[in-house]
Amino acid sequence: MLVIKDLHVSVDGKEILKGLSLTINAGEVHAIMGPNGAGKSTLSNVIAGRDGYEITSGSVIYKGDDLLVMSPEERAWAGVFLAFQYPVEIPGVNNTYLLKAGVNAKRKHQGLEALDAFDFMRVVKEKAKLVELDPSFLSRSVNEGFSGGEKKRNEIFQMAVLEPDLALLDETDSGLDIDALRIVAGGVNKLRSPDRAIVMITHYQRLLDYIEPDFVHVLANGVILKTGDKSLALKLEEHGYDWVKENL
Amino acid sequence: MNLIQQTRQDALALFEKVGLPSKRDEDWKYTDASRLADLLELGEADTSLNIEGLGITDLDAYRMVFINGMLNEPQSNLPADVRMVSLADLQSDVADEDREDLAQLFKISGDEPLFNGLMALNAAVATGGAAVCLADNSVLDKPLYILQVSNQNNVLRHGLMLGVNAQAQVIEHFISTGEAHALSNCVTAVILKAGASLEHTRLQQEGKKQSHVARVEVKQLRDSSYTFHGVELGGILSRTDLVVSLSEQGASCNLNGLFVLDGRQHVDHHTRVDHKAPHCISRENYRTVLDARSHGVFNGKVVVHKGAVKTDSSQSNGNILLSKHAQIDTKPELEIYNDDVKCAHGATVGQLDDKQLFYLRSRGISEAAAQELLTFAFADEVLAAMSNQVVRSYVEKEAFAKLPHGADLDGLLGE
């Protein structure tokens, strides 16, 4: 589904990703772990299409197409979704309208009819249950006045409604208390499917207790230093990132 | 000659003395009143305009309709328990218990804040208007909707007097037909007695070549409350002076403004709030969305007089420029003559927030639609203060239609 080859990315002239390669197939759940400043968020932002990242070399191929030439909205239509580390508040833009516009823009792109208001609300209510989101959040402005945990829950709710093929969860666990983490992780688990790939970016092993990854990657100094299974995360938790560097 | 006739003659003399405002006048620095010089003559009013389907048709309200400055009685429908006096009545010699009060509405001394010749001219030559007197403790059960349609120069003057604890909602809506190049000169004088409460909307939606000058003058007594919504969508040159006097303890005002402009539209609001008594509150929130070569001017002055302790005043002005040729001149001014006050003001001029834009696009909203949606949301925050949802959705729809890709976004606005 996603093939990243030798990706070099700079921000303000400083190289952050230094030849990163990664292959992700449908149905897989990947965890990318690494210390602060390793380039984890840069990677997710580059995949989602955010401005301000200079791609100096390498390629990102998504479903056979060059992802890097696509606009953020084209990527969304093609099934890419980013759950933001810091979801932005957008006063005056209604949460539900945003999703309706997003869903219908994608359907239009796929040559499907727009969902009518009734069908759409049915889907929305069903998905809100998935992350135990209070229905009153649906009629509020996007993330406005939401607590940190509510924002993260709202991201996973949006993911559920938009039904992406490739979902990137950027530190979705940070700022969540243990109950909220359990609920959010439960929502993500219900969204696992053979057609969907999920990439979790996280600092901590504890998320992986709830969402079991197929692969764990260690990202440091702009490259994937090591790839393993779930046990790699446990070793990291125990020994720290320096252990990986020392044992290369 | 009765009191009112005398007052109007004095106003004419004053206009002849001072003439039109000049660009040398600091308050008219950005708005060229000389462009109005040819638009001061009043011809015979054409009252035959077809106004069917114009205005906010689905609003459940009492209506007053003015066509080129003349009251159209068949189209008007007034509440039984509210006294409304037309200007023609005022000029007759028929005795009227409120004549002295009403004469106040025409009295111009030349010392008023933001005084200018146009307001004197208005008092002198206005051909119509509503004089609404709401008795003590009465509550108008429906809004009063004053529709003012024109294609000629017209001069209107309204007086709204709310008695002790009276409550009302008044919407003035200005529309012009055809491609007339004319001037509307409208003054609304408001007096709110103790505990009275008024929500007052002015919706200026005149034609592309029309000019509009207005003055809203509000005098508030103890514990009264005034809410203003000034919406500017139409016209080529529009200037409003909004002057509020918080004259007695506990009075409060909320002044909201929204300009959505394109082409070469020029809109200028000067607001002036005088805190003259203790414990008064003023809130002001103006937003503008300026496209093409349009020009917005916002000048908000708050004066806290000696003795007005515990004054609580805040003002904010946000502006979005959609084109590099659009221009905003914004100036908050604060004059404080005592220590015990809380005052804040701020103005921002900017483009849209990159983070918000990216967030929307990452959810599948196209770039153009995301820009539009954020622009609309920015403007709509001011409209959220409107209590009348029918008026609000009308304004939202009309404001939205003025944005460059308005039509694409229809679905985002809900049902």
Give the closest-approach CA distance of A154 to chain B in angstroms: 13
Predicted pLDDT at A133: 87
**Mean pLDDT to the nearest integer, B27-45:** 93
Q: What is the DSSP letter of B82?
A: S
Strand extents, DSSP E, B151-193: 154-162, 167-176, 183-192
ipTM of the complex: 0.95
pLDDT band at B206 (very low <50, low <70, confident <90, very high): very high
Helix pair A95-109, B367-383: axis angle to 10 deg: 160
Indicate yes or no: CB of B364 within 8 angstroms of CB of A77.
Answer: yes
Contacts of B14 (CB under 8 A, 6+ apart): B108, B110, B117, B120, B124
Q: What is the DSSP letter of A213?
A: -
* CATH for the stretch A2-246: 3.40.50.300
Residues in A touching B377 (Cβ below 8 Å) = 90-93, 141
Residues in B touching A51 (Cβ below 8 Å) = 354, 358
A78 in contact with chain B, both atoms CB, cutoff 8 A:
no
Indicate yes or no: CB of B360 within 8 angstroms of CB of A91.
Answer: no
**B144-150/B62-67 β-pairing:** parallel
Domains of chain A by residue range = 2-246
Give the closest-approach CA distance of A225 to chain B in angstroms: 29
Predicted pLDDT at A34: 87
Closest CA relative to residue B282, chosen from B307, B252, B262: B252
Other beta carbons less than 10 A from residue A64's beta carbon: 7
Q: Measuring CA to CA, how many Å separate B97 from each of A245, B103, B257?
A: 94, 11, 36
Indicate yes or no: CB of A101 within 8 angstroms of CB of B412.
Answer: yes
Indicate yes or no: CB of A73 within 8 angstroms of CB of B366.
Answer: yes
pLDDT band at B88 (very low <50, low <70, confident <90, very high): low
Contacts of B294 (CB under 8 A, 6+ apart): B261, B262, B263, B264, B265, B266, B267, B326, B327
Residue of chain B whose Cα is closest to the Cα of A74: B364
Indicate yes or no: CB of B363 within 8 angstroms of CB of A98.
Answer: yes
Segment holding B411, helix H or strand E: none
Predicted pLDDT at B59: 97
Nearest by CB to A73, from B356, B367, B378: name it.
B367
Task: Specify which residues A10 forms β-bridges with.
Answer: A15, A54
**Mean pLDDT to the nearest integer, B168-183:** 94
Instruction: Give the separation between CA A65 and CA A1, rounded to whole angstroms.
Output: 10
B381 in contact with chain A, both atoms CB, cutoff 8 A:
yes
Instruction: Give the separation between CA B10 and CA B3, rounded to whole angstroms.
Output: 11
Instruction: Give the separation between CA B106 and CA B188, rounded to whole angstroms.
Output: 10
Mutant choice from A46, A51, A70, A73 vs B, greatest count of B C-beta within 10 A: A73
**Mean pLDDT to the nearest integer, B171-177:** 96
Region for A145 from its dihedrals, namely left if φ exceeds 0, alpha if ψ lies in -120 to 50, beta otherwise? left
Indicate yes or no: CB of B412 within 8 angstroms of CB of A97.
Answer: yes
Closest CA relative to residue A150, chosen from A161, A159, A142, A162: A142
Indicate yes or no: CB of A90 within 8 angstroms of CB of B366.
Answer: no
Beta-carbon pairs below 8 A across chains A and B: 91
Between residues B402 and B210, the one the model is more confident about: B210
Indicate yes or no: CB of B366 within 8 angstroms of CB of A105.
Answer: yes
Predicted pLDDT at B87: 64
Instruction: Give the separation between CA B129 and CA B217, rounded to whole angstroms.
Output: 15
Kindly state the tokens that stand for B50. Answer: 């077809």
Predicted pLDDT at B415: 33
**Model confidence over B328-338: pLDDT tens digits?**
999 999 999 99
Indicate yes or no: CB of B362 within 8 angstroms of CB of A51.
Answer: no
Between residues B413 and A11, the one the model is more confident about: A11
Nearest by CB to A73, from B364, B376, B384: name it.
B364
Predicted pLDDT at B412: 55
Residue B80 φ/ψ, nearest 5 degrees: -70, -35
Residues in B touching A71 (Cβ below 8 Å) = 361, 367
Kindly state the tokens that stand for B22. Answer: 């000049």
The answer to whether residues B280 and B224 touch, using CB atoms and an 8 Å cutoff, is: no
Residue of chain A whose Cα is closest to the Cα of B374: A93
Nearest by CB to A93, from B367, B373, B415: name it.
B373
Task: Specify which residues B266 forms β-bridges with.
Answer: B237, B295
Indicate yes or no: CB of A50 within 8 angstroms of CB of B415.
Answer: no
Between residues B258 and A240, the one the model is more confident about: B258
Q: Is the pLDDT of residue B413 over 80?
A: no
**Which B residues, 251 through 280, put their C-beta within 8 Å of a C-beta on chain A?**
none
Domains of chain B by residue range = 3-351, 353-415
Q: Is the pLDDT of residue B414 over 90?
A: no
The answer to whether residues A19 and A223 touch, using CB atoms and an 8 Å cutoff, is: yes
Per-residue pLDDT of chain A (248 residues; tens, 9 = 90+): 999 999 999 999 999 999 999 999 999 999 999 888 889 999 999 999 999 999 999 999 999 999 999 999 999 999 999 999 999 999 888 888 899 989 999 999 999 998 888 899 999 999 998 888 888 888 888 999 998 889 999 999 999 999 999 999 999 988 888 888 999 999 999 999 999 999 999 988 888 999 999 999 999 889 998 899 988 888 887 887 777 777 66
Determine the straight-line distance between the first and last CA of chain B, rounded to whole angstroms.
57
Instruction: Give the separation between CA B304 and CA B285, rounded to whole angstroms.
Output: 18
B24 in contact with chain A, both atoms CB, cutoff 8 A:
no
The answer to whether residues B205 and B174 touch, using CB atoms and an 8 Å cutoff, is: yes
A113 in contact with chain B, both atoms CB, cutoff 8 A:
no
